[in-house]
Chain A
Amino acid sequence: MLQLAWLLLAFPAAGALINTFLGSRFSKPTIGWIASGTVAASFVVSLGLLLGLLGLPGEERVITLPLWDWITIGDFRAPTALLIDPLSVTMALVVTGVGALIHVYAIGYMFDDERFQRFFVYLNFFVFAMLILVMSDNFLGMYVGWEGVGLASYLLIGFWFDKRDDTYGYYADAGKKAFLVNRVGDFGMALAIMILWTSLGSVTFLDVFQAAPASLSSGVATAIALLLLLAATGKSAQIPLYVWLPDAMAGPTPVSALIHAATMVTAGIYMIARTHVLWELGPSAANLAAWIGGLTALMAASIALVQVDLKKILAYSTISQLGYMVMGVGVGAYAFGIFHLITHAFFKALLFLAAGNVMHGLHGELDIRKMGGLREKMPTTYRLFLIGALALAGFPLMSGFFSKDGILLNVFGHSPLLYAIGLFTALLTAVYSFRAVFVPFWGQPRDKHLHEHAHESPPIMTRPLWVLAILAIVGGVLNLPFVLTLERWLEPAVGEPSFHPSLALEVSLLLVSAVVALAGIYLAYARYVKEIGWARRLQNALGPLQPLVEHKYYVDEFYDAAIVQPLKALARWFAEVFDPGIIDGSVHLIGRANLAAGERLRRLHNGLVPTYALSIFVGVVVLVMYLVFG
């Protein structure tokens, strides 16, 4: 079975190729089901790999499947090979499982789009690239997937490449921004790979991790980890490179769910967990990662509180939740980072797709200030969204509750201050999640016309969501406290947990988390449903901060003024002044001098001026050279 692992990648690749070349002959449902079917087939292969690994004793669950030699120059060797281990198989299950559901949903969501065929080709290509990312057995292969998903993301954000609106500007520009910001991160990964090869002579994960502890100084390891951190902040939308993700919501909603919430953006967390050996050798980089994660979580959650666009709330929520994951892997809780990655994939995909149903039912409207009372019009979507919000808020016993608490527990062992930040963010999370439930779905309709035309979505757009909803509820069993299945399962790939809390600590923090989640939900209830006076006054007290938060702390503006505009000004000066004026100007000066000399010579010889000038020049030089060296 394990020998057939390459089928995992072959299915979505085949789907993309078939739909590219033959899609124009197929009907829309055929195209959609081919695309979904290939991803579902990959999911089956992933299940097979899971069973295959489970049949082996723990220490043998790391298998390399070589495919071909990719690049060989001298001592440099980069193979094309798959690494089948608990971590990669877990990621493959999430990618193909959640991916297949979203593909099915998209058949309904995109049905009326004129570029339906192209959409599914891109979606299949994305799954293919993402599987390369998580299955490669070496850094360079991971880099292929890393940039491949970037291309898919670029194409899908700018899918409606001719559209523009006030929120995003031209959608195509949002796609371009995503690709370029990610390239800044990729710069880090490319350099990290160069350092790794120069220091250790290999780019294969297993070789590197085996050799690193003995032959990598902590300085070099820290440098590598910092570069990898840069890469992670790009792909996983952390400070300072998170700015592309909110704009990425210009893409169709299934894309937001699949790529910009459930899978691609988690690549950074996967990568850190995968390279954990390097982070353990460079602990200061890991510590920085933890703080970046914590601060990103806090900052993004605060922005999510004031957004009025349903998808943007979810986008900032995604940044914030990714912050938790980065914080988790930063403090060495790799298994919990992956655990939260999985539960987040369930509930955030659910939330996005439910938001897609809202958007679908309201003809593209996403401003929550215009909604209200939607639960009567869209009861199923409401229930689905509520389940997602409960999981996101960390409502006790929902999947998100366990995974977030696991991270917070480990952060507590690392730094109580960072824990406090994480806990406060959890409070904000509960508030904004339920603001997104109460404002659109409860109360009275705010826009009568919009409300009258609102409708529930067809079954193809609700049934896949029930699967996600169930997973969002029960996903916590993957790693029940005191049973620790996921942690133990991932051990061969990410090592043993470094932090062993006492039972008392574990239980008390669990209780604190539960109280905080409930308090946050109540806060949202008091403010947005009951409109109780103190809740309003609390918000008014924070009023002075509101413009700052609404403008997302002016980070986009800062980058534009500090980096983009100066670079463009420099480029313009180069292109319009320096290159034609100074460089080419000097060339012309030399040319004119030669021509002037030629004018005088022409009186002696009639002929082609430059030729004569040159032959004389050559003659003189030959003479000089001969005299010097002869």
Chain B
Amino acid sequence: MNASLFALLCTLALAVIVPGVLILAIERLGPRRKVAAKGLPYEAGIQRTVGSSRERFSVKFYLVAILFILFDVEAVFLFPWAASFRELGVRGLVEMGTFIAVLFFGYFYVLGRGALRWE
């Protein structure tokens, strides 16, 4: 096992242990008095909540998710280009520029169709 893998394991262990200890602390230390009212979902003091809590929500959030996937995949393509930018030179820049230009077309199409209009 080399040192950088060891560092990764140590980091992951630390990042699990710190919140884990705090969660364990509250599970062991806190008082515990069961009252039915404590189990109710918060809804500004209303005793009987109306309908299910897992409500339907606007389709716009779905559109945002889809667009995020499109543009984030684009960002993923940009990373290797950025890493070897100097070796690829002008040719790489032109190719990447074309790629981004094509994406800009898509972006304007999305704008034009009003997918990003929040009203």
Same assembly: no
Residue numbers of B with Cβ under 8 A of A are none
Residue numbers of A with Cβ under 8 A of B are none
